[in-house]
Structure 1
Amino acid sequence: MVGRDGRNRGGRLLPLAALLLATACEPRAATPPADTVATVKLGAGSFSATVRRTAHGIPHVLADDFASLGYGYGYAFAQDNLCELADVLVTVNAQRSRYFGPDATYPAPLGGDLVNLKSDFFYQSIVDAGTVDALLAKPAPLGPSQDARELVRGYAAGFNRYLRDTGVNALPDPRCRGAAWVRPITEHDLYLRYYQLSLFASSSFFLDALVDAKPPALLPDGSLPLPLPVPASLDRNVFPHSESMGLGSNAFGLGGQATRNGKGMVLANPHFPWEGSERFYQAHLTVPGKLNVSGVSLVGVPAILIGHNETLAWSHTVSTAYRFTPFELKLVPGSPTTYLFDGQLRQMTTQTVTVQAREADGSLSSRQHTFYRSHLGPMLEYPAGLMTWNGLTGYAFADANASNLRVLDTFFAMDRATNVEELRQAQATWQGIPWVNTLAADAQGRSYYADMGVVPHVTNAHLARCVLSPIPLLILQQAGLPVLDGSRSDCAWGTDADAVEPGILGPSRMPHLTRDDYVTNSNDSYWLPNPAQPLTGFPRILGEEKSVRSLRTRLGLKMVQGRLAGTDGLEGQRFTLEQLQTVMLNNRTYSGELLRDAAVSLCRRTPFVLMADGTFEDLRPACPVLAQWDLKGNLDSRGELLWRVFILNAVAVTGGPYLLPFNPEDPVNTPRVLNTLHPQVAQALGTAVRTLRERSIALDATTGSVQGKRKNGVFIPIHGCSHSEGCFNQISNRLLPDNTYEPVLGSSFIMAVSFTDAGPVAKSVLTYSQSSNPASPWYADQTVMFSQKQWVDLRYTEADIASDPALTVTQLQE
């Protein structure tokens, strides 16, 4: 017998031919053409979806309504990654201490580790405040649309259907099989997850600092502590941006003047974690006549975040805009919970939260924490950023995404846009993009860039008026972050008439650009998506103008410019899809192209270098290795690892490693020329030689012999190189005890899309593969493909899907 989910009694998915015979009497064929799908009348709470999986486990979910679409998607996702979502929901429901212990840690989505108890206090404060519930009660666009609500309702039901059919104790993933923390999910759980996603570049980054904030204790002499002394400089990495958050990305939007066929093309290359809650999941979602979109989502999200539909493709890169501002409060002497506002005294309020924690003997105990809040936001204790709660000042944290539950609807509206203008309108209507830029192109041959996100309404005039004291001035100068005067109402966030809510910049103030040739971004600010048309005159809180671009940004621009000029060694001018794929994975190391020859000359004339510790390092073995290096990070490249360590140290030398400084009139080609007379540059090369020797890595070791991912005991070599090297195919690693480099972040979902007269043609590779379950057949297959620079042919039309030899079909009804 075959059940309604397309399984036989042994639970095995049937191949297509057998399924077609078994379901011949069903009301809908297993792979119906999109234009002949009959409408199925469903009762309240009913769902009906078809999940068709093609090669590499990619689900193509077909349904007649959004609730059923979510149902099929939730079911498919649970089959592959149930443990990931279950774990995320433990986090957002403040239950990590209950199940895993209060002192244990878990990997933070943006790098580093978080202590379970602190995490639980943070998320419990959100739950107790009813923040998500209040936003759910608002009408659209401040609250979710009815379509989005139906999508979420179905997604939760589909996830639960799989869990119910399989049973917790029979889950195929050993990581959560039989776990007490795996349970049916609710729609509210999912909205907590979407709220968590909104906060990643703001409150979540400062989770420890928000939990650590408490009134200052008296010093032994009975006084209260003073503010920290103001240093000469401050590391901007203590505040969130693409590097400090551990996230990044590259993207091209190519217009008709940049492509061979005159239609749009898009390259998507997000740099996201390879493990954990921010993995991508690949899917194709169709409701005939309403939605037909293919791409990837993050864990638990039932909309496509990066992908394409019939006439539009898009991707995202992490924005430089700040999504928050601290406010410096003037405290009443002797009363650190009382502050001045417009000359009046105000008292902070408190919120005490309680979570359950598992003790060593397995029993549960209650743990409590008290948060302090001003009317401007919760208090912050962040010594790394010079913001401490002392006897004179305190810092309140205001998060522009604190009222943003619009993220799902924003992406869902983008999924249904048909061109770049409709995409712009979708973003302007919902204003729910939390922390990324968007790059896109359409079938009409238009390319588009925008930083159309949620940003506090802080103008440059605002900065001149409200950033006055020493610590805020230093933070603004060094990191570009406004720390506003919290004692005056005229320093509160402003508003725009076209903003979806008060306090944020309206769409008309946000940088965006539509062109017929191209736009690019690699995590630098909005200033230079195309050097022919720089974007200027925007508020500083969005990012810097006329400032140094990263090597990765410069390489991305040069790759496009070289293709259009026909100087990159490829045939002709303008892009074909195959050339776009080649450019993506060429593994050029731009710092090597700029500086290698000078470094070799330095090496040859300085056989021994005096190191900072007073010892000498022999550079002679490094010279021939660097001279023969192919300036790439391919699997067989010899010398890239040596260069990787050298450049990481060279860029940190006092004053920088360049002789020719940055010129804002030539931002793509400056700075350049290695300063070989700088003694620290030679020492950087000595450090590289010493480091590889201490790690027992040969100076001429190939990249693929040392850099790779182990999956089920098999070492899969991975090409690519680091951000510091200026490598487009960026791979960030952790050093393992065996002195191999394991990718933890970087190129994740790579997609190249070209529009043609016959519709979109797309190629992709999900570098870490579709499933996080080690027992899944889709756990390592695409990782091997990525290693070999192979791509998946994305099947978009009904004919393409039906013709896949690997096709299996699951019918779901409830």
Structure 2
Amino acid sequence: MPRWFTALFWTSIALAAVVVGLSTWDAFTARPPEPDPALKRTVKIVRDQWGVPHISGKTDADVAYGIAIAQAQDDFRDLEESLAAVRGRAGAISGEDGAKFDFVGHLLDANAVAEKGYASLSPATRALVEAYAQGLNDYARKNAREVRLQGLFPVTGRDIVAGFALRSPFFFGLDRPLSALLDDRLPPRDAGPADERGSNAFAVAGRRSADGTTRLILNSHQPWEGAVAWWEMVVHSDAGWDFAGVNFTGAPFGLMGHNKVLGWTNTVNRPDLIDVYKLVLDDSGKRYRLDGQWRDLEQRRVWLRVKYGPLVLPIPRTVYRSVHGPVIKNALGAFAIRFAGIGEVGQVEHYYRLNKARDFADWQAIMATQGVPATNFIYADAKGHIGMFHNALFPARAPGFDWRGVLPGDTSKALWTAYLPWSANPHVIDPAAGWVANANNTPFLSTAPANELKRSDFSEDMGIETQITNRAMRYQARFAQLGNQQISREQLLSIKYDKGYDRAGWAGRWWDEVLALDTKGRPDLQKAQALIRQWDFTLDCQGAADTLVALAFAQHARFAYLQKPVPNARAGLEDAVAGLTRHFGRLDPPLGDFQRLRRGKVDLPLCGGPDALRAMIGDISADGRRVGNNGDGYIMLVEWTAAGQVKSESVHHFGAAATRPQSPHYNDQSPLFAAERFKPVTFPAKPAG
């Protein structure tokens, strides 16, 4: 818990006798929402044999209403928690952890951003988010026993938009400077995620495929549970919305997938899109200096309602804001944060329009509106076009500043107010090699070397990432092995499921360090070294050293991905040897016995490992097994034949019923996922009747 939170909590405890009335407010306020008889929806939800909802409606808004109903049926728990965070009431459900989200929501002023930007959305988009909110309200009214936080409903379209404003900047690393500043530390100089999350994406043009088929693989790595776990759907409206793919709780449309003529997937990128400014305050601490003039520091008192046992205690907190953006005061001074897309809600419009894009030109025109502040887009379509787009809202920064460090907050010369056009972003379109890919790596490693972009063509002030993951090195090597031959479906899937590690990358450096360790007097470590010396640099569940390696280099993989100094290899080796000896009585148990997929009564072996293209990340359970919870999750293969006909297959790591253990679809796809197989996607959905 941050120090500021601890202090305020105990202050509130001292006032508990005064605020008992407030503490019970969340449990006894507003009644469940009443339906609006004027809002009738023509929608039908039909689930396939895997429980995936096929949602059809007369209008797009009808479909959005159905998405809300189906999503609530599968995962009302995470929906409610997401909405509570938007409303500043997550602490009333989740205690201290939820209160942190509430504080950030107040700091970013997400609700005010949504309110201000709502009118800028098209009438069709506003109708969509309002219908989605209506679906959530109707579900909550009809299923009142599931509602944990009374007074949360009814929600509005503005709440849905605020959810995007709140969540978006964390996908390109806002949590890192925020966490540092709240802990009285300077922010890191590098951009990127705060934890080990990744994605893979591949597209192969029909002219390079053995059968003339254009293929797109969606393989975005997200946590396997929670508000940002993938949820699958297929939709149809009589107004021309046909889409198959996935979204997160709180989204009234697909975030990645395909329609009849085109599709895309995303991988998280990490360009430098966040700037931190050191403010100069006057003696009162209430004004800051800018261009020689003193300005009032905006401040607002907020209350974080935090659940402790049966009580919900109000904890006061002050949030500050300057012209730069939200401000955090700590032991080092006052720091303002400015990030790409600050104060904007265009991504709601952007994603909705992408769902209905008609061709490559239309799709690119939508992308050029720059509604999505950051994330790579990998594209393919029925005409055989492919592309890798390093999408980001790059600030138009003035030269002469250290944009990676803390910036001076007293001069407007360092305060950017505009962005570079989308055409300035790195992108590779229809390369001669006939393929593009990304695995959270620099955009200058997106296709065959002869077709790559040049780093020197882009300004250093853009802060374009230089990261090269093991996954990127592996797909480069695997495609290179194919030479100029046509790429078959099986070969592409073999690359996607690759479990190897590049000898020239961090895994090779770890291997060298382990084998160089002085293990005199430690026969157990000497035995481990001998086993690791035999390792073939794959975690395919075939080698005797696979489990020992997967366990021993896990922290190396994590720190390499986060671009942090890697930990000492000896400690990881010692911990791995001790754990395997304690739980297995040997150093060479099969990897499939150690690495498991567990969900309800399902308990299955998993191959692969951290930062492999078959990425497996998890936590060690009480019985010494690593249980998967991140990495490879939802996967979709989209194919357009030479004649332009589309079909797709997909697999989810668990199933459609995200938080419904009683449902047969709680874990029915897990055997397919563990076996690296797919299920068919029935597309398009049938019209509502």
Equivalent position to 2:492, from 569, 572, 580: 580
1:521–1:396 distance in 2 versus 1, CA, 3 Å: same
Query: Quick one: distance in 1 between partners of 2:115 and 2:509?
Result: 60
1:309 aligns with 2:259: yes
User: Which digits, 9 at most, give the CA deviation of each residue in 1:365-390, with x for residues without a partner?
Assistant: 43221122222122235xxxxxx554
- Residue type of the alignment partner of 2:619: R
Query: Quick one: distance in 2 between partners of 1:247 and 1:687?
Result: 23
Equivalent position to 1:740, from 625, 632, 640: 625
1:560 aligns with 2:560: no
Equivalent residue, structure 1, for 2:652: 766
> Following superposition of structure 1 onto structure 2, how do residues 323-334 of structure 1 map, counting pairs within 5 Å?
323-332=273-282, 334=283
> Following superposition of structure 1 onto structure 2, how do residues 474-485 of structure 1 map, counting pairs within 5 Å?
481-485=404-408
1:585–1:731 distance in 2 versus 1, CA, 3 Å: same
Aligned residues of 1:577 and 1:752 also touching (Cα < 8 A): no
Equivalent residue, structure 2, for 1:778: 665
Query: Quick one: distance in 2 between partners of 1:290 and 1:627?
Result: 58
1:703–1:543 distance in 2 versus 1, CA, 3 Å: farther
Equivalent residue, structure 2, for 1:168: 144
1:650–1:575 distance in 2 versus 1, CA, 3 Å: same
1:452 aligns with 2:391: yes
- Residue type of the alignment partner of 2:595: Q
1:710–1:346 distance in 2 versus 1, CA, 3 Å: same
1:529 aligns with 2:416: no
1:203–1:554 distance in 2 versus 1, CA, 3 Å: closer
> Following superposition of structure 1 onto structure 2, how do residues 417-432 of structure 1 map, counting pairs within 5 Å?
417-429=357-369, 431-432=370-371
Instruction: Give the match's secondary structure for 1:610.
Output: coil
Which sits farther off after the overlay, 745-754 or 583-592?
583-592
- Residue type of the alignment partner of 2:102: D
Q: Per-residue deviation at 1:44?
A: 5.6
Equivalent residue, structure 2, for 1:443: 382
Equivalent residue, structure 2, for 1:371: 319
Equivalent position to 2:208, from 247, 250, 258: 258
Q: Per-residue deviation at 1:80?
A: 0.9
Equivalent residue, structure 1, for 2:594: 706
Query: Quick one: distance in 2 between partners of 1:68 and 1:561?
Result: 47
TM-score for both structures, normalised by structure 2: 0.83
Equivalent residue, structure 1, for 2:410: 487
Equivalent residue, structure 2, for 1:356: 305
1:577–1:317 distance in 2 versus 1, CA, 3 Å: same
1:450–1:595 distance in 2 versus 1, CA, 3 Å: closer
Query: Quick one: distance in 2 between partners of 1:192 and 1:453?
Result: 20
Instruction: Give the match's secondary structure for 2:446.
Output: coil
Instruction: Give the match's secondary structure for 1:69.
Output: helix
Aligned residues of 2:111 and 2:162 also touching (Cα < 8 A): no
Aligned residues of 2:243 and 2:684 also touching (Cα < 8 A): no
Query: Quick one: distance in 2 between partners of 1:698 and 1:258?
Result: 47
Percent of counterpart pairs with the same letter? 24
1:65 aligns with 2:65: no
Query: Quick one: distance in 2 between partners of 1:66 and 1:183?
Result: 23
Q: Which has the larger radius of gyration?
A: 1
Query: Quick one: distance in 2 between partners of 1:621 and 1:341?
Result: 64
Query: Quick one: distance in 1 between partners of 2:535 and 2:521?
Result: 28
5+ residue gaps in structure 1?
A: 1-41, 106-115, 170-175, 214-226, 229-233, 382-387, 468-475, 494-501, 566-572, 657-679, 802-808
1:428–1:43 distance in 2 versus 1, CA, 3 Å: farther
Q: Per-residue deviation at 1:419?
A: 3.4
Q: Per-residue deviation at 1:542?
A: 4.4
Equivalent position to 1:610, from 512, 515, 518: 518
Aligned residues of 1:721 and 1:731 also touching (Cα < 8 A): yes
1:187 aligns with 2:107: no
Aligned residues of 1:118 and 1:208 also touching (Cα < 8 A): no
1:178–1:134 distance in 2 versus 1, CA, 3 Å: closer
- Residue type of the alignment partner of 2:295: R
Query: Quick one: distance in 1 between partners of 2:280 and 2:533?
Result: 60
Instruction: Give the match's secondary structure for 1:774.
Output: coil
Query: Quick one: distance in 2 between partners of 1:597 and 1:126?
Result: 41
1:650–1:162 distance in 2 versus 1, CA, 3 Å: closer
1:540–1:364 distance in 2 versus 1, CA, 3 Å: same
1:541–1:254 distance in 2 versus 1, CA, 3 Å: farther
Aligned residues of 2:235 and 2:684 also touching (Cα < 8 A): no
Equivalent position to 1:719, from 607, 618, 641: 607
Query: Quick one: distance in 1 between partners of 2:298 and 2:511?
Result: 59
> Following superposition of structure 1 onto structure 2, how do residues 528-677 of structure 1 map, counting pairs within 5 Å?
528-530=445-447, 531-532=449-450, 533-536=452-455, 537-540=457-460, 542-544=462-464, 547=466, 549-565=468-484, 573-591=485-503, 609-610=517-518, 616-622=522-528, 625-626=531-532, 629=535, 631-635=537-541, 637-648=543-554
- Residue type of the alignment partner of 1:451: H
1:643–1:86 distance in 2 versus 1, CA, 3 Å: same
Equivalent position to 2:401, from 451, 462, 466: 466
Q: Per-residue deviation at 1:118?
A: 3.3
Query: Quick one: distance in 1 between partners of 2:345 and 2:509?
Result: 52
RMSD, aligned CA: 3.4
Aligned residues of 1:765 and 1:786 also touching (Cα < 8 A): yes
Aligned residues of 1:67 and 1:155 also touching (Cα < 8 A): yes
1:513–1:421 distance in 2 versus 1, CA, 3 Å: farther
5+ residue gaps in structure 2?
A: 1-35, 561-567
1:505 aligns with 2:425: no
Instruction: Give the match's secondary structure for 1:272.
Output: coil
Q: Per-residue deviation at 1:457?
A: 2.2
Q: Per-residue deviation at 1:699?
A: 2.0
Query: Quick one: distance in 1 between partners of 2:368 and 2:259?
Result: 20
User: Which digits, 9 at most, give the CA deviation of each residue in 1:19-39, with x for residues without a partner?
Assistant: xxxxxxxxxxxxxxxxxxxxx
1:789–1:630 distance in 2 versus 1, CA, 3 Å: farther
Equivalent residue, structure 2, for 1:515: 430
User: Which digits, 9 at most, give the CA deviation of each residue in 1:562-608, with x for residues without a partner?
Assistant: 3354xxxxxxx3233343233322423334999779959995xx8xx
Equivalent residue, structure 2, for 1:248: 198
Instruction: Give the match's secondary structure for 2:221.
Output: strand
Query: Quick one: distance in 2 between partners of 1:563 and 1:181?
Result: 59
Query: Quick one: distance in 1 between partners of 2:230 and 2:135?
Result: 19
Aligned residues of 1:630 and 1:638 also touching (Cα < 8 A): no
Q: Per-residue deviation at 1:555?
A: 0.7
Aligned residues of 1:466 and 1:491 also touching (Cα < 8 A): yes
Equivalent residue, structure 2, for 1:472: none
Q: Per-residue deviation at 1:124?
A: 3.7
> Following superposition of structure 1 onto structure 2, how do residues 30-179 of structure 1 map, counting pairs within 5 Å?
45-101=39-95, 104-105=96-97, 116-125=98-107, 130-137=112-119, 139=120, 144-165=121-142, 167-169=143-145, 176=146
The aligned length equals: 639
Equivalent residue, structure 1, for 2:335: 395
Aligned residues of 1:564 and 1:575 also touching (Cα < 8 A): no
Which sits farther off after the overlay, 441-450 or 634-643?
634-643
